[in-house]
Amino acid sequence: HVSLKPFPDNFLWGAASAAYQVEGAFDTDGKGLSVWDVFVREPGRTFEGSNGDVAVDHYHRMEEDVALMAEMGLTAYRFSVSWPRVLPQGRGQANEAGLAFYDRLIDALLARGIEPVLTLYHWDMPQALQDEYGGWEDRRVIDDFGDYCALLFRRYGDRVKTWVSLNEQNYNLSNAYLLATHPPALADRKRFYAANHIAFLANARAIMLFRQLVPDGRIGPSFAYSPAYPASCAPADLLAFDNAEEFTNHWWLDTYCYGRYPQVALAWLREQGEAPDILPGDMAALAAAKPDFIGLNYYYTLTYTDNPPDGVGLQRINTTGQKGSTPSSGVPGLYRTTPNPQLETSNWDWAIDPTGLRIALRRLTSRYALPVLITENGLGEFDRLEDGDQVHDVYRIDYLRRHLAACQEAISDGAALLGFCAWSFTDILSWLNGYQKRYGFVYINRDETDARDLRRVRKDSFFWYQRVIASGGRER
Ligand code: BG6
């Protein structure tokens, strides 16, 4: 670019979290259990049996955390509400103590000029609904989710204007129904597509209710977008890349934004007997619920190559933290992943690709013509707490600096970028990896087995992001 456009004045300089990963207080003040509270107790599910019972105890340290956000200069904070904290049985009687916690959080943020960005669902399905009818697998969840959302719209809609509906439906349900790494831990493609179809309908219901109850607000889903690259210019690799975009990205994005499943993918699934049951009215309901923006969770790109019909199937993600240990994963006959020799990787084997973020923003802008809010981007690494309470996370600063540069390039390309919520504000419980994989600007003094003093320690990246925000993104 000859001249880069600046970040807009009203750009949201944010950071993010999710209820289960920070709150703790898993059975406090009348909270019901979520599927994660139960799942993590099954042997072998998470690293060293780590769980969110205490997490980083944000439920009890919320004031201190918000004070740190204010010190840093955040202008937005993305958090999620725990469905079973406010509706212990998933429906019916609301838990006033749970609702009041989020009132206090929202008011604390607003008092410091920080815009709350509220996520309705970050994976913590009430266990009661999972037990009763299988959560996302039963259409009854559409009404129950709608009622839960309406409760929050009525309660917080006067103060919260930016809402995220479902967080990473694609990633969460892939783990839940294909890779067996999130509850209910199944590997069944038919049920995967069925659950997704119902989740799409629930997302649409939430958006329609939002239009009535918070007419001056904006809402959109957050999508885990890993833009696909072809491994080479061989036509077979291009076909694999095309399949990957259709099956792993457009399946969700087209449906959210246009209420339309990609036709080639749908035909293939019908052939396999794995397409979802689409009832009369379903597609019209999906098409009517266009979001106001796309929430983008961006971590890496994925590179694809040809995969013969007897080729490799889906493999579990790398949870070992060992470089180079990620297996190729794919769908026989469609595609499989392969390392990209052009890209460096993190110690967790994730490709580091700032240009991929620019590509993601350009693709979203051109294909969907919607503004984008980056709801997650960040680097999970092994951090070290050094003498004098210091954490020199220069690698995180480098990662974020390059990704913010890509944002500015994408803005200059024409993307309407609303804001950037770094993942994460404090360190959080990584769902499957405990606390070895850290993302925060603020270090939390604890590990998997020992909650220690849960002390908050500002990392080097804290002071760096503080300067970035103060300069409106100019000083990086
Ligand atoms: C996203 C989730 O998938 O990635 C977050 O929305 C999660 O909740 C983040 O923490 C990083 O994943 P991981 O596995 O590295 O902790």
What residues have CB less than 8 Å from 403, skipping those under 6 apart? Answer: 298, 354, 357, 377
Q: What is the DSSP letter of 333?
A: T
Counting Cβ atoms within 10 Å, is residue 471 exposed (0-12), middle (13-18) or buried (19+)?
exposed
CB-ligand 1 contact for 434 (6 Å cutoff): no
CA distance 141 to 82: 16
Note the pTM of the prediction, 2 decimals. Answer: 0.97
Which residues are part of the catalytic machinery? 168, 376
- Dump the DSSP string for 122-146: SS--BHHHHHHH-GGGSTHHHHHHH
CB-ligand 1 contact for 123 (6 Å cutoff): no
Main-chain dihedrals φ then ψ at residue 419, nearest 5 degrees:
175, 175
Q: How far is CA 450 from CA 48, 444, 445, 453, in A?
A: 11, 12, 9, 9
CB-ligand 1 contact for 380 (6 Å cutoff): yes
Q: 430 CA to middle of ligand 1, Å?
A: 6
The number of helix segments (H) and strand segments (E) in the chain equals 16, 14
pLDDT at 301: 98
pLDDT at 322: 76
CA distance 300 to 402: 13
- Partners of 166 in the β-ladder: 121
Main-chain dihedrals φ then ψ at residue 387, nearest 5 degrees:
-50, 145
Q: What is the DSSP letter of 437?
A: S
**441 near 465, Cβ under 8 Å?**
yes
CB-ligand 1 contact for 167 (6 Å cutoff): yes
Atom of ligand 1 nearest to the CA of 172: 3
**286 near 200, Cβ under 8 Å?**
yes
CB-CB neighbours of 338 under 10 Å:
20
**Ligand 1: which of 22, 430, 448 to mutate, most ligand atoms within 8 Å of CB?**
430
CA distance 320 to 325: 8
Q: 38 CA to middle of ligand 1, Å?
A: 19
**206 near 217, Cβ under 8 Å?**
no
Q: 144 CA to middle of ligand 1, Å?
A: 26
425 φψ region: left (φ > 0), alpha (ψ -120 to 50), beta (else): alpha
User: Parallel, antiparallel, or unpaired for β 218-224 and 294-297?
Assistant: parallel
Q: What is the DSSP letter of 245?
A: I
CB-ligand 1 contact for 245 (6 Å cutoff): no
CA distance 169 to 162: 19
- Give yes or no for a cis peptide into 184 (omega within 30° of 0): yes
* Token output for 430: 């990584």
Nearest CA to ligand 1 atom 16: 430
Nearest CA to ligand 1 atom 2: 168
Tens of pLDDT, residue by residue over 425-470, are: 999 999 999 999 999 999 999 999 999 999 999 999 999 999 999 9
Residue type, 31: K
What residues have CB less than 8 Å from 395, skipping those under 6 apart? Answer: 379, 381
CB-ligand 1 contact for 431 (6 Å cutoff): yes
CB-ligand 1 contact for 124 (6 Å cutoff): no
Tens of pLDDT, residue by residue over 205-248, are: 999 999 999 999 999 999 999 999 999 999 999 999 999 999 99
Q: 338 CA to middle of ligand 1, Å?
A: 21
Q: 275 CA to middle of ligand 1, Å?
A: 28
CB-ligand 1 contact for 375 (6 Å cutoff): no
Structural element, H or E, at residue 200: helix 189-213
Q: 451 CA to middle of ligand 1, Å?
A: 21
| Three-class secondary structure of residue 406 per DSSP | helix
How far the first Cα of the chain sits from its last, in Å, is: 18
Ranges in the chain, pLDDT < 70 = 1-2, 318-321
